[in-house]
Amino acid sequence: MPPATSDEEPNSMRIWYFLFIFLISILFLGHILWPFWSIMVLSFLLTNLFRPVYKFLRKSLPQTGASILTCLLIVFIVFIPLLFFVGALSSEALGLYQWGRTTQVGMKLQIFVQDSPLILQFQDYLKGFGFIFEPAQITAMFSYLAKMAGLFISNQVTAWAANILQFLFLFFMMILIIFFLLIDQDRLIDFVIAVSPLPDDEDRLLLEKFEEIANAILKGNGICGLIQGILGGVIFTILGLSSPILWGGIMAILAFLPIFGIGLVMIPAALILMLNGNLGQGIFLFIFYLTLSFSIEYLVKPKMVGNEVQMHTLLVFLSILGGLSVYGVLGIIYGPLIVTGFLTLTEIYFAKYDARVQKM
């Protein structure tokens, strides 16, 4: 008579063999889809943002018609302004590079530093420790930063323009993914939950957290950043400052950063106006920055996002900076998403698994 375990061993081997083959298939699938990973993430975010529009259209249209109209709306709102922005940004970035080479602002800053009694005292104080500080160093640093920033942005935008066919292809892919996500998102979520080995409530908690942070990124940071960038560019145009579209775009990105935000552009711009003798305009720009920043951060953004995302300000700051350094501009989205996934898994661990681990 065969051993009692003879029937169990093949079953166990089959299970492990199946899991191994299944893991291999997942790795190959990930390798195939990896070139479109960024597009799929952006498609998921835009789908969640425009899903209320799709649901509204579904009241009077079939699924396909509602999805097509929603995608056309995305093209009209996102794609057409983006083409205009890239074209204008290219020329203005090149202008910033030239401005960094020929500007007299750095020299005026050097003269201001040389005539400042406080700076002279600071120089004497540093000399006592063996450090030599010269105002010319400020001029060189300021001109170098402006020149390099303009050159970097110009090169990046030129590369985008040169790969316009690739850009069009990727945007078409994104619209195609959004079209099917609008129709089949619920079934896709059910499939992911069914495949996942985690309990359904944990899967749904993870998905809910990702949707919350995605809504916060686009509705809160995205829309509010766009508002600040547009208003910042408008005020730069009114005051006659150079490259308003370029600086407006930079401010829209910097608005994602807590604590500093658009102040990294507006405060130096206000100081430059003052150094050029436009004291009233400089003070006005600084007051405008304070009003815009505080109204968006403490009035508009909380109403749009609510209390959906509970993340420490420092953690948000580090996640965005870390995401930018690793993934580029899209790190603004990836960084908070990765941190949210970690925090959610930590929450699940302490709620369900910590006590079991301690008993082991």
Give the separation between CA 251 and CA 265, rounded to whole angstroms.
Answer: 7
The pLDDT of residue 241 is 79
Q: Vertex 251, ends 247 and 252: CA angle to 5°?
A: 120
Tokens of 154: 């110009």
Instruction: Name the residue with higher pLDDT: 348 or 113.
Output: 348
Residue partners of 151: CB distance under 8 A and separation at least 6: 93, 97
Distance CA 110, CA 168 (A): 47
- 8-state DSSP, 132: -
**DSSP assignment of 87-144, as one string?**
HHHHHHHHHHHHHHHH-SHHHHHHHHHHH-HHHHHHHHHHHTTT----HHHHHHHHHH
- Report which of residues 359 and 220 the model is more confident about: 220
The whole-number pLDDT of residue 69 equals 93
Helix, strand, coil percentages, rounded to 5, for the chain: 85, 0, 15
pLDDT at 17 exceeding the cut of 80: yes
3-state secondary structure of 83: helix
CB 123 within 8 A of CB 187: no
Task: Name the nearest CA neighbour of 248 among 228, 231, 229, 226.
Answer: 229
Cβ pair 157, 86 in contact under 8 A: yes
**Angle between the N-to-C axes of helices 263-275 and 105-115, in degrees from 0 to 180, rounded to the nearest 10:** 70
Give pLDDT, residue 200: 82
Of residues 162 and 296, the one with the higher pLDDT is: 296
DSSP assignment string, 225-291: HHHHHHHHHHHHHHTT-S-HHHHHHHHHHHTTSSSSTTHHHHHHHHHHHHHTT-HHHHHHHHHHHHH
Lowest average pLDDT, out of 80-94, 141-155, 156-170, 183-197, goes to 141-155
Between these two residues, 163 and 14, which has the higher pLDDT value? 14
Percent of the chain, pLDDT > 90?
5
Per-residue pLDDT of 96-130, as tens digits, reads: 555 555 555 555 555 655 565 656 666 666 666 66
Q: Is the pLDDT of residue 67 over 60?
A: yes
What beta strand segments (E) does the chain contain? none
Q: Give 319-340 pLDDT, tens digit per residue.
A: 878 887 787 777 777 888 888 7
**Percent of the chain scored above 70 by pLDDT?**
67
Angle between helices 313-327 and 331-348 (to 10 degrees): 130
pLDDT number for residue 251: 84
Tell me if 285 sits within 8 A of 244, measured CB to CB. Answer: no
Least confident of 12-26, 98-112, 205-219, 225-239: 98-112
Nearest to 138 by CA among 32, 272, 261, 295: 272
Predicted pLDDT at 334: 81
Q: According to the model, what pLDDT value does residue 4 have?
A: 47
pLDDT at position 180 over 50: yes
Please give the pLDDT value at position 309. 56
Record the pTM: 0.63
Residue 279: CB partners within 8 Å, gap ≥ 6?
A: 273
Could you give the CA distance from residue 88 to residue 166 in angstroms, rounded to a whole number?
Answer: 20
Q: What is the mean pLDDT of the chain?
A: 75
Residue 270 C-beta-side C-alpha neighbours within 13 Å: 17
Contact 114, 134 (CB under 8 A): no
pLDDT digits 0-9 by tens, 121-131: 666 666 666 66
Judge whether residue 56 has pLDDT over 60: yes
Instruction: Compute the average pLDDT of residues 69-80.
Output: 85
Q: Which residues contact 221 (CB under 8 A, 6 or more apart)?
A: 255, 256, 301, 332
Query: Tens of pLDDT along 18-29?
Result: 888 988 998 998
pLDDT confidence tier of residue 317, bands split at 50, 70 and 90: confident
Residue 114, token pair as written in the block: 């040389």
DSSP 82: H
Name which of 92-96, 204-208, 214-218 the model is least confident about: 92-96
The answer to whether residue 1 scores a pLDDT higher than 50 is: no
